[in-house]
Amino acid sequence: MTTNKLDTLEPLGSLSMTDRVENSLRLYFTESGFKPGDSLPNEQEMAQKLNVSRNVVREALSRLRMLGMIEARPRRGMVIAQPDLLVGLEKVMNPSLLSQDNLKDVFELRLILEMGIAEFLFARKTEQDLNELEAIVASQNDATVVSKEEEIAFHGKLYEMTGNDTFKRFQTLLMPTFDHVFTGYYNQSKKIEIPNPVTHYDLFKILKTGTVEEFRKAMYTHLAVYFASIL
């Protein structure tokens, strides 16, 4: 609890002007109740008000612009924009830079997500979804040993079927990292060579004619090969 509070406390001495201006602007935007489409004061005004150079203001604005929080129309001024939720995550997601701890957490996160989507799948599956999923399963020759691409195709389709676009994109972000960690744990081969007691076809069949409970149980077994390495 107390540590949580301290998380927002940054080492003041190390904060550059740009950092402080960024914070000030964020505060200003929310305090002023700005909504997407509202126009902002120009850079010079901000700089004067904050008593810093226009350079510093621009560096701070550049950050917010990257995240899609503001938009600058050259020679017409800036407006508040509607940031995309995952753009920040996309920008940071770089397996070779992330810490081992973060990578492990991502690894687990995927498992948590896959276990959690059962309800949504059954609530939202359509005939067409099932047909597409069947096509994906049918194209997989060896049912017990699937390639990385086949794995992504099948599970990706499941994420897509949740009807949650953010969720689907989230998966697209996590998958490479997941794979990076997984192959790191096992070996450097490109194939996931572990035979699976519950195949993609099994999962498909249950999703088509079975129940939520059955599906989740099957999915658990299907994922157990990953779980086993960390739980």
Partner DNA sequence: AAAATTCATTTGTAGGACAAATATAATGAT
Partner DNA sequence: ATCATTATATTTGTCCTACAAATGAATTTT
Which residues in this chain contact a copy of itself in the complex, by CB under 8 A? 4, 18, 22, 30, 33, 35-36, 55, 58-60, 62-63, 66-69, 80-94, 96-99, 101-102, 105-106, 108-109, 111-120, 123-124, 162, 164-167, 170, 172, 216, 220, 227, 231
Q: Applying CB under 7 A, does 148 fall inside the site for DNA?
A: no
What is the rounded CA–CA span in Å between residue 144 and residue 16?
A: 55
Site residues for DNA, window 59-98 (CB under 7 A)?
A: 61, 72-78
Q: Applying CB under 7 A, does 109 fall inside the site for DNA?
A: no
Contacts of 134 (CB under 8 A, 6+ apart): 204, 208
Contacts of 104 (CB under 8 A, 6+ apart): 181, 230
Candidate list 28, 29, 34, 58; residue touching DNA; CB under 7 A: 58
Whole-number Cα distances in Å, 54 to 33, 34, 44, 192, 220 = 24, 22, 6, 54, 56
Least distance (Å) from a copy of itself to the CB of residue 152?
11
Query: Which residues, listed in sequence order, are joined to residue 78 by a DSSP beta bridge?
Result: 72
126 binding partner (options a copy of itself, DNA, none; Cβ < 5 to 8 Å by kind): none
Question: Interacting stretch for DNA, rule CB under 7 A, among 51-59, 85-93, 106-114, 145-153?
Answer: 51-59
Candidate list 23, 32, 36, 44; residue touching DNA; CB under 7 A: 44
Contacts of 95 (CB under 8 A, 6+ apart): 103, 176, 177, 180
Footprint of DNA on this chain (CB under 7 A)? 16-18, 40, 42-44, 51-56, 58, 61, 72-78
